[in-house]
Structure 1
Amino acid sequence: MAHVSDLIATDIQAYLAQHEKKSLLRFITCGSVDDGKSTLIGRLLYESKMLFDDQLAAIEADSKKWGTQGGDIDFALLVDGLAAEREQGITIDVAYRFFSTDRRKFIVADTPGHEQYTRNMITGASTADVAVVLIDARKGVLTQTRRHSYLVHLIGIRKVVLAINKVDLIDCDEAAIRKIDEDYRAFAAQIGLTDITTIPLSGLKGDNIVERSDRMPWYHGPTLMAFLETCEIDETRLQKDPFRLQVQWVNRPNLDFRGFCGLIAAGSVRPGDRVRVQPSGRESTVARIVALEGDRPLAVAGESVTITLADEVDISRGDLISAASAPAEVADQFESTIVWMADEPMLPGRPYLLKIGTRTVNATITEPKYKVNVNTMEHLAAKKLDLNEIGVCNIALDRPVPFDAYEVNRDTGGFILIDRMSNNTVGAGMLHFALRRSHNIHLQAHDIDKSARSTLMGHGPAVLWFTGLSGAGKSTIANLVEKKLHAAGCHSYLLDGDNVRHGLNKDLGFTEADRVENVRRVAEVSRLMVDAGLIVLTAFISPFRSERALARGLVAEGEFIEIHVDTPLAVAEQRDVKGLYKKARRGELANFTGIDSPYEAPETPELRVDTTTMTAEEAADRVVALLRERGLIPS
């Protein structure tokens, strides 16, 4: 028995060793809704003998309950795991599946075809080597087919399989299949996709999946499985590039060890190699490479390791360790392509969080240079980006970050945009290059700073940000506060919404995008006034929390005081000093806050004044009292 056990163990070890040496191909399936992506992957799993007996029994039972094939095995159910997917017969989430043949290992991502879930398709495509673009033979090239193909090109996938599926439903019509192939190649040439292999197939019936179909004697190309097993991929490409390690964690278990853990995004590293820490620019030498099995003489792209340096260098999560001889670029302004993935539009000037590698920074986006019509590839003028739109925009960060162009390295050139309030991912982008101004414009240090100016004035600097509905009483209260500050010998300035629109912001309207830009400009002016040592008062509706958060983030902690002038809409409308509510109700005034444009009330303001229970004079006294409590003005 012991001898038999030894033989079994030896066979298992031999199998695992052989399996480990196989190359790995990552690919995605994409296309429009109901093109048969999940069915195709299910068929590949079935044909590659990757299903256990209990899985087959379960899928047979599920096919009777959920299937759409009249009791036959519904291969899509092997992939569509969500109840909603089974009920609707569509893919919502990205489903990853592993399978293996004698020649190669595979990880396939089944990505959703519905336009609403384009964001999930991008997730699946971000690490793929090959894209299998499915087209329903009955429908031909659709808008979503073009959108997914364009995204495939943007993300950097260069090998495409045009899988013309469901050919059994058109009786394997050669002329129809060739017409689809011609249409797709004409579009693909416009976006730079040239490495295309067309395979007519049926995921349901198995035609040209593993075995060549007898129903298409005119087709002489490979089966899908044959192509996936034999297509060339350069698994060592990133290892040839300059070294990049994104620091994910600083490991300090004791005083004798300080290591920097992370994924090697490109290149290779050995002890003794000279490296540069970015964005600081400090250089050192690699002392050790530590992995789970102990010290190593070499580590390459795709591996997660810990490295130690010969010198004490200040390194934090988010830093990039690069080859000293070929470091990454460092900049804070870029041109980029952005794919917008949120229901709410991308608005120029609105603050977002940008995550690149392991670093998260604040970002604002300028007005798009253009957006792309995925049907015609035409460049269209745009003021904003809506759901699933793709545009080229300039982007500015609040600090420099190390990067490579996306076409050089996906890991160090790709980013996501995150909504500051909800923490939802709202966009994905690819960096093209740093703007020249990023390198030419530098902050100039001055000997006289904010502290010196504040000392001379005899009080602390601050922004008093009055927000509330039109007619709430913001300007009235702010004006009274400034009179009281002036009487107390304080230096102040009042920025009123209407007054600013006569000069600084006279080019802006009242669309959501213009409101964002209006507040952004006022926030920047307020920052300069605070730096001058002033108490600046702003009286603006400023309806969006994200823009008020931007204004808060521009000044030091404790210098921003948000004052919610809280007045119910009915009361503000009853006052209607300027007659604006009446115009809005008659439809003469579009995008009016409270009527057809939202107001997002502050959640935790420093001060809330209710103008239905106190006078404007009493509200002003409350504001001045708060400034004295905080020590910003003399008692």
Structure 2
Amino acid sequence: MSDLLRLATAGSVDDGKSTLVGRLLYDTKSVLADQIDAVTRASVDRGLDTPDLSLLVDGLRAEREQGITIDVAYRYFATPNRTFVLADTPGHVQYTRNTVSGASTAQLVILLVDARKGVISQTRKHAAVLALLGVPRLVLAVNKIDLVEDPAQVFADICAEFTSLTSSLGWAAGDVVEIPVSALHGDNVAVRSENTPYYDGPTLIEHLESIPVDAEPHRVGLRFPVQYVIRPRTAEFPDYRGYAGQVAAGSVTPGDDVVVLPSGIRTTVTRIDTADGELDSAHAGRSVTLILADDVDISRGDTIASPQDAPEPIGEFDATVCWLAEKPLRPGARLLLKHGTRTTQAIVGSIVERFDEQDLTTEANPDTLALNEIGKISVRVAEPIVADDYRLNRHTGSFLLIDPSGGNTLAAGLVGDAIAAIELGERV
């Protein structure tokens, strides 16, 4: 079982995400005493009887004054059994793009709903986005359960509706867990609550500690985007030529045959170097330097792959994108596309369809994609990219669209038709 879990929060405005994250930090003793003292003083100034734990995570003064969270913030906490990296995302509809960013690398997402409101449109939107991103596990935290008259019935009704939603989006029953909580009072967060006798499952932290976090399934072989070519040219290493980067998929061992893409030249890995010495093998997520048997022309942006299932470099393809910019996307837009370590010019040929996250339907051939809208587009690139379908590998199947004039990120993209999989109720 991995000792590191990457997770994110999602949910609507005022569902209590910041309070829940503050509670997790507080109950795992991941905040300093002076921070607690500062939060206590600020809470007293507001006329509160108990510390407002949301102040532990709403770091910007403007956010605190408005009582809202407007950006993704990464938090780190730990228990004796596991370390956690948490992306705390905002709940406003106009910040769906931040949810995409925060959840893109998550192994689990805690999706909050207010027990008084139940599953609302923003809940459905977030669930659809998380399904598109291929998030493997969900926790539905039914927050503020202490504020409803019949909590057992309310919890059962919300769970039934959410199960229906997640089933239609392709999650298996075992991948979704519902927990009634009160982030304000700590019920079922770190300590089991006597106020929820109708619930006999784990606390939130117990669940986060116990779920297996396996490496991504080996659906593809080696994918190693080259980030940097190392050539010291020193007396000690006059002929050293290494190719540095991070293993994006699969694994590599000295002696493995590989192919360099997009050139198609084949060679063999002779050694795997790191700052701490040589390795016998390297798996996905490990940053290493590969030494090859032949003097091959390789530069940043090329990919070293296993020849058995090496992807064909593509110059035109369909993709699912979430548009992140205020200015709408229109057909014919000339942008930059960043895929792995390669950045190239790109043209959006057409907007094939727009996705409605509420009823899981599509509108064909829309004129534009507006801020936070999701759709399928066709793309043509100036230099071929070495990509897998996102459903096969999240790392080699994702990309960014960038404004060539200002450098701002305009869209997060998934290679292939992720929308079709959602419409069919299949997991990405």
Query: Are the counterparts in 2 of residues 146 and 374 from structure 1 also a CA contact under 8 Å?
Result: yes
Paired residues for 1:395-544 under 5 Å: 395-432=379-416
1:418 partner letter: I
Q: Which of 215, 230, 248 is the matching residue for 1:235?
A: 215
Query: Are the counterparts in 1 of residues 8 and 108 from structure 2 also a CA contact under 8 Å?
Result: yes
**How many percent of aligned residue pairs carry the same amino acid?**
46
- The verdict on how the C-alpha distance between 1:80 and 1:329 changes in structure 2, with shifts beyond 3 A counting, is farther
Q: Which of 136, 148, 158 is the matching residue for 1:158?
A: 136
**Residue 170 (str. 1) matches residue 154 (str. 2):** no
Q: Which of 201, 209, 212 is the matching residue for 2:181?
A: 201
Distance (Å, rounded) in 2 between the aligned partners of 1:196 and 1:81: 31
- SS of residue in 2 equivalent to 1:180: helix
- SS of residue in 2 equivalent to 1:58: helix
Distance (Å, rounded) in 1 between the aligned partners of 2:209 and 2:15: 23
Q: Which of 288, 291, 306 is the matching residue for 2:289?
A: 306
- The verdict on how the C-alpha distance between 1:172 and 1:249 changes in structure 2, with shifts beyond 3 A counting, is farther
Q: Can you list the C-alpha shifts for 1:570-601, whole angstroms capped at 9, x where unaligned?
A: xxxxxxxxxxxxxxxxxxxxxxxxxxxxxxxx
1:75 Cα deviation from its structure 2 partner: 1.1
**Which residue of the partner structure matches residue 247 of structure 1?**
226
**Which residue of the partner structure matches residue 596 of structure 1?**
none
**Which residue of the partner structure matches residue 329 of structure 1?**
312
Name the structure where strand makes up a greater proportion of residues: 2
Distance (Å, rounded) in 1 between the aligned partners of 2:147 and 2:112: 15
1:390 Cα deviation from its structure 2 partner: 0.7
Q: Can you list the C-alpha shifts for 1:413-468, whole angstroms capped at 9, x where unaligned?
A: 001111122211111110017xxxxxxxxxxxxxxxxxxxxxxxxxxxxxxxxxxx
Q: Which of 127, 143, 147 is the matching residue for 2:121?
A: 143
**Which residue of the partner structure matches residue 341 of structure 1?**
324
Query: Are the counterparts in 2 of residues 45 and 51 from structure 1 also a CA contact under 8 Å?
Result: yes
2:184 partner letter: L
**Which residue of the partner structure matches residue 422 of structure 2?**
none
Distance (Å, rounded) in 1 between the aligned partners of 2:406 and 2:118: 39
Name the structure where helix makes up a greater proportion of residues: 1
2:228 partner letter: W
Structure 2 residue runs of 5 or longer lacking an equivalent are 418-428
**Which residue of the partner structure matches residue 107 of structure 1?**
85
Q: Can you list the C-alpha shifts for 1:492-544, whole angstroms capped at 9, x where unaligned?
A: xxxxxxxxxxxxxxxxxxxxxxxxxxxxxxxxxxxxxxxxxxxxxxxxxxxxx
Q: Which of 371, 375, 378 is the matching residue for 1:394?
A: 378
Distance (Å, rounded) in 1 between the aligned partners of 2:216 and 2:338: 27
**Which residue of the partner structure matches residue 458 of structure 1?**
none
Query: Are the counterparts in 1 of residues 330 and 351 from structure 2 also a CA contact under 8 Å?
Result: no
Q: Which of 280, 288, 294 is the matching residue for 1:297?
A: 280
1:87 partner letter: E
- SS of residue in 2 equivalent to 1:266: coil
1:229 Cα deviation from its structure 2 partner: 0.9
**Which residue of the partner structure matches residue 191 of structure 1?**
169
**Residue 54 (str. 1) matches residue 34 (str. 2):** yes
Query: Are the counterparts in 2 of residues 290 and 307 from structure 1 also a CA contact under 8 Å?
Result: yes
1:161 Cα deviation from its structure 2 partner: 0.6
- The verdict on how the C-alpha distance between 1:264 and 1:78 changes in structure 2, with shifts beyond 3 A counting, is same
Query: Are the counterparts in 2 of residues 270 and 289 from structure 1 also a CA contact under 8 Å?
Result: yes
Structure 1 residue runs of 5 or longer lacking an equivalent are 1-20, 434-635
| RCO higher in structure (CA 8 A, sep ≥6) | 2
Q: Can you list the C-alpha shifts for 1:15-71, whole angstroms capped at 9, x where unaligned?
A: xxxxxx961111111011111111101111111122232332233234345x6x714
Q: Which has the larger radius of gyration?
A: 1
**Which residue of the partner structure matches residue 280 of structure 1?**
263
**Residue 98 (str. 1) matches residue 82 (str. 2):** no
Distance (Å, rounded) in 2 between the aligned partners of 1:393 and 1:220: 46
Distance (Å, rounded) in 2 between the aligned partners of 1:375 and 1:278: 40
Q: Can you list the C-alpha shifts for 1:346-378, whole angstroms capped at 9, x where unaligned?
A: 101111111111111111223322211111112
Distance (Å, rounded) in 2 between the aligned partners of 1:44 and 1:74: 13
- SS of residue in 2 equivalent to 1:84: helix
**Residue 121 (str. 1) matches residue 104 (str. 2):** no
1:257 Cα deviation from its structure 2 partner: 1.3
